[in-house]
Amino acid sequence: MRNVYFSSGNIITSLGFSTDENAAAMLSGRVGIRIYNDPGLYPGPVPVSRVDDERLNREFEIIRTNNSRLGLSDDQFSRLEKMLFCSITSALENSPADPSDPRTLFIISTTKGNIDLLACRPGDVKGRLHLWELAGFIAQLFNCSQQPFVISSACISGSVALITAARMIASGKYDHAIVTGGDIVSEFVVSGFMSFQALSPDPCKPFDASRTGLSIGEGCGTVIMSVNPEVADGQAPVRYLGGAVSNDANHISGPSRDGEGLYLSIAAAMREAGVSAGDIDFISAHGTATPYNDEMESLALAWAGLDNVPVNSFKGYIGHTLGAAGIIETILSLYSMQNNVLIQSAGYTGNGVSKPLHIVTENTTQTIRNVLKTASGFGGCNAALVVGR
């Protein structure tokens, strides 16, 4: 099996339109979750993390104007399509991947896709409501020669997309992969989580004793994976080491209370990566700030012997970005590795889980060689992956 490397990436969230911009905002303590009074989202005030529309349209127009082959007007793209197009374009800069090469795989991960099109009047829907239509449209924009893969596995979608891409490259079927994920905040999504009484009235506080639920976020992340260990600025290449997926089939929405499903995926990922608990320097947790998720995640990490390893959740800054979360949070973990910095877990002030974890409470300089990324989602699905230098 061949080695697989991360060559470039991009993040678009409420905190910025690049990985560096997002990381800098987090390191400065800036939180992108705001209270919105938008009847198009919810009848009352709701805290969410949203991408700036004005900047999105401006960035998209610059790229569209410089790309004459698009041949489409601004109003022929949905908000999500604009985010995906901008993110993929940025990630492809200085990348070894050529979308038109048959040896380049294209994967898109999302939970709801163009869900906002449901609000259109009958007859006005512009199409691409189906996930496969969205993926096909984006792939066509970049002249992808391969039919795109769509991964929609609840909130582990982004992590599963990375694991899938790595396995296909390692097997020799492809040399490169464009892995992108995105979701938007919509009335459908907000009302759905409200029906579970899962949304916090304030920005979420993962693993904190006073946490009151999750915050929804929107965004897009794109990472280029390759057999070539090409990196910029002389940095050591970061390699995908192993990953695994499990399902505890516990409940339609709630995770298994004992964390066994997540533990199994962590153990399998570490086994494939050839690392032990003592080799992991940092954990990017799923950390939704719901009572059950944080509790079961603490149990799973303790079960795996990882409760003393520094851990954070990026969701306190940008909310839960659903199908994009696994990709965005992995890219931020790569940033931490390449810059040897642990980013404070936003919103955390005191332990709120039965197995105390080593939560990162302040930005810290530390050598990071191996990172574990975890994810869990509706239906009891779990994923874990390990990356290392």
Secondary structure of the chain in the HEC alphabet? CCCEEEEEEEEEECCECCHHHHHHHHHCCCCCEEEECCCCCCCCCEEEECCCHHHHHHHHHHHHHCCHHHCCCHHHCCHHHHHHHHHHHHHHCCCCCCCCCCCEEEEEECCCCCHHHHHCCCCCCCCCCCHHHHHHHHHHHCCCCCCCEEECCHHHHHHHHHHHHHHHHHCCCCCEEEEEEEECCCHHHHHHHHHCCCECCCCCCCCECCCCCECEECEEEEEEEECCCCCCCCCCCEEEEEEEEEECCCCCCCCCCCCHHHHHHHHHHHHHHCCCHHHCCEEECCCCCCHHHHHHHHHHHHHCCCCCCEEECCHHHHCECHHHHHHHHHHHHHHHHHHCEECCCCCCCCECCCCCCEECCCCEECCCCEEEEEEEEHHHEEEEEEEEC
* Judgement on whether residues 58 and 164 belong to the same structural domain of the protein: yes
Q: Given this model, what pLDDT does residue 361 score?
A: 98
Q: Is residue 376 part of a domain?
A: yes
The arithmetic mean of pLDDT across residues 349-372, rounded, is 97
* Judgement on whether residues 41 and 143 belong to the same structural domain of the protein: yes
The arithmetic mean of pLDDT across residues 151-178, rounded, is 97
> Which one of 169, 192, 226 terminates a domain?
226
* Judgement on whether residues 190 and 243 belong to the same structural domain of the protein: no
The arithmetic mean of pLDDT across residues 13-30, rounded, is 98
83-132 pLDDT tens trace: 999 999 999 998 989 999 999 999 999 999 999 988 775 555 556 899 99
Work out the burial of residue 38: count CB atoms within 10 Å of its CB; fewer than 13 is exposed, 13-18 middle, 19 or more buried.
middle
186-217 pLDDT tens trace: 999 999 888 888 899 999 999 999 999 999 99
* Judgement on whether residues 209 and 296 belong to the same structural domain of the protein: no
CA 214 to CA 49: how far, in whole Å?
11
Q: How many residues does the chain have?
A: 389
- For 27-31, 142-146, 281-285, which range has the lowest pLDDT when averaged over its residues? 142-146
* Judgement on whether residues 193 and 242 belong to the same structural domain of the protein: no
82-95 pLDDT tens trace: 999 999 999 999 89
Q: Is residue 247 part of a domain?
A: yes
Q: Which residue has the higher pLDDT, 94 or 158?
A: 158
The arithmetic mean of pLDDT across residues 348-354, rounded, is 96
CA torsion 293-239-219-30 (nearest 10°) is: 80
pLDDT at 322 over 90: yes
240-268 pLDDT tens trace: 999 999 998 877 777 788 999 999 999 99
Q: At what angle do helices 131-141 and 79-92 cross, to 10 degrees?
A: 40
Q: Is residue 242 part of a domain?
A: yes
Q: Is residue 231 part of a domain?
A: no
User: The domain that contains 157 carries what CATH number?
Assistant: 3.40.47.10
CA 196 to chain centre: 22
Neighbours of 74 (CB within 10 A): 10
Q: Is residue 232 part of a domain?
A: no
How many C-alpha atoms does 199 have within 13 Å on its Cβ side?
22
Q: Is residue 233 part of a domain?
A: no
Strand partners, 216: 48, 320
pLDDT at 233 over 70: no
Q: Given this model, what pLDDT does residue 76 score?
A: 82
Tokens of 306: 């990882």
What's the structural domain count of the chain? 2
* Judgement on whether residues 213 and 290 belong to the same structural domain of the protein: no
Structural domain span for residue 177: 4-226
Q: Given this model, what pLDDT does residue 68 score?
A: 61
Query: pLDDT exceeding 90 applies to what percent of the chain?
Result: 81
CA torsion 196-202-205-208 (nearest 10°) is: -90
* Judgement on whether residues 219 and 252 belong to the same structural domain of the protein: no
What's the mean per-residue pLDDT of the chain?
93
Q: Given this model, what pLDDT does residue 379 score?
A: 86
* Judgement on whether residues 222 and 242 belong to the same structural domain of the protein: no
Per DSSP bridges, beta strands 104-109 and 46-49 are unpaired
Q: Is residue 246 part of a domain?
A: yes
> Which one of 184, 199, 226 terminates a domain?
226
* Judgement on whether residues 288 and 180 belong to the same structural domain of the protein: no
Query: pLDDT exceeding 70 applies to what percent of the chain?
Result: 95
* Judgement on whether residues 203 and 309 belong to the same structural domain of the protein: no
* Judgement on whether residues 163 and 244 belong to the same structural domain of the protein: no
* Judgement on whether residues 58 and 118 belong to the same structural domain of the protein: yes
Cβ distance 6 to 238 under 8 Å? yes
Q: Is residue 158 part of a domain?
A: yes
> Which one of 226, 258, 290 terminates a domain?
226
Cβ distance 381 to 265 under 8 Å? no
